[in-house]
Amino acid sequence: MLPQRPRLYLVALVTVACLLPALAPNALATPPTPPASSATTATPPMTNISYHASSDGFPLSYEEVLPAHFLTNHSYPLLVYLHGAGKVSNWTRGGSPNGLAGFLTNSTLSGLTLEELLANASAFGYIVIAPAPRSAEGFYTNSTCGGPEEQDTVDAIVHEERLHHIHSVYLMGDSMGSLGALALAGHRPGLIQGIALTGTITDAFEEFAYRPSKTSSLLSLTCGTPPSTKNLTAERIFAYLSVGRLAPKNFSGIRIWASAGALDRDSPNNVSIWPFEMVNFTLLNSSCLVASLYGEPANCTDPFALLHAANATAFGYRFLYEAHGTHLIAQLDPWDMFEYFGSKVKGGCFVSTFPPTIVKTCP
């Protein structure tokens, strides 16, 4: 059993706050145990950065948060936060609401978790950016009607690299952002060093086949046309977003941290459908079930869990299963995520309570 992890968390109506001490940039130090206090956690200042898409010149932006005691001549790791889906598929000049600044203005569990993410990022010496995609339903991927959103995200990373010294890039994707993070990392080898996933969706075909009433936003990528053997353009977009299951070998050398909740009814794979470690994370134990109606290619490749067993160094992951977890970014444990990215905690499969307090090894 691993020791209890210090966290900033909402318990009932009491906020436990931790004002993190000043750390040298890039220091991978463990934040101290939060004191019992009702003080509000200080949110690091954010700056809105404007840039233009390299594909078509479309005006976009992202929020930037620099770590404490930032030094312009120092090199930092970059964490890119990809938010969940909104309800608008129209393109928005400057980018749709980025899901970071808005949540930080309220006291919901999601807002407090994002405050915790920024506080821990500052303590661990990470720069954080949150791209505002041109469409709130674009899944951060290049598509027929959603636009070149994967390239937009890469453009944001490149723009930040022009502003500051960046030595490594990590993605943190929530819900829609989890599909986008997997697709970007899985199709651009060498660009991303690690990804973290919450509200985890790993397979666009399964998402559409098993929860069509919840996943109509996927059709915003294909101009409203479902994927099928007669619509190869839509099929290719769905396959591209399903790289986690269809081509797990693409993730060699990328550290993966993920959480999944058994009560997540907004993702297709829950305990009523899949066995234990496939709950919301078919990347680990890929199945041969095929949604043939939608043109999904058959896939029986070695799943990531077997690749990990054969070569844990090349295929590293840390998976937290939460029996009471739902479709919330509040399942994110930023302290644990940064510890794993920094090789301070081991990989593998673990069981956690919700909210996370103590991690136990999977049976």
Range 155-171 average pLDDT? 98
Question: pLDDT at position 260, please?
Answer: 78
* Alpha carbons 277 and 323: distance in angstroms, whole number: 11
CB 91 within 8 A of CB 145: no
330 pLDDT above the threshold of 80: yes
325 pLDDT above the threshold of 50: yes
DSSP string, 296-347: PPP--PPPHHHHHHH-TTTS-EEEEEETT--S-GGG--HHHHHHHHTTSS--
Angle between helices 176-187 and 232-241 (to 10 degrees): 90
Question: pLDDT at position 25, please?
Answer: 33
Give the CA angle between residues 180, 181, 183 to the nearest 5°. Answer: 65
Question: pLDDT at position 176, please?
Answer: 92
pLDDT band at 228 (very low <50, low <70, confident <90, very high): confident
21 pLDDT above the threshold of 90: no
Q: Which of 87-101, 115-129, 206-220, 268-282 has the lowest mean pLDDT?
A: 268-282
199 pLDDT above the threshold of 80: yes
Enclosing H/E stretch for 149: helix 149-163
* Alpha carbons 45 and 186: distance in angstroms, whole number: 32
Question: pLDDT at position 283, please?
Answer: 66
CA neighbours closer than 13 Å in the CB half-sphere of residue 257: 25
Q: Which domains does the chain have, with CATH numbers?
A: 10-361 (3.40.50.1820)
Question: pLDDT at position 154, please?
Answer: 98
Enclosing H/E stretch for 60: strand 59-65
**pTM, whole model, 2 decimals?**
0.83
51 pLDDT above the threshold of 50: yes
Question: pLDDT at position 299, please?
Answer: 61
Which one has a higher pLDDT value, 234 or 301? 234
The pairing of beta strand 165-174 with beta strand 147-148:
unpaired
Structural tokens at position 222: 């294909």
Q: Which of 98-112, 151-165, 228-242, 330-344 has the lowest mean pLDDT?
A: 98-112
Q: Which of 29-38, 287-296, 304-313 has the lowest mean pLDDT?
A: 29-38
Question: pLDDT at position 38, please?
Answer: 29
Q: What is the pLDDT of residues 166-175, one digit of tens each?
A: 999 999 999 9
Question: pLDDT at position 174, please?
Answer: 93
pLDDT band at 323 (very low <50, low <70, confident <90, very high): confident
36 pLDDT above the threshold of 70: no
Range 56-60 average pLDDT? 97
* Mean pLDDT score across all residues of the chain: 78
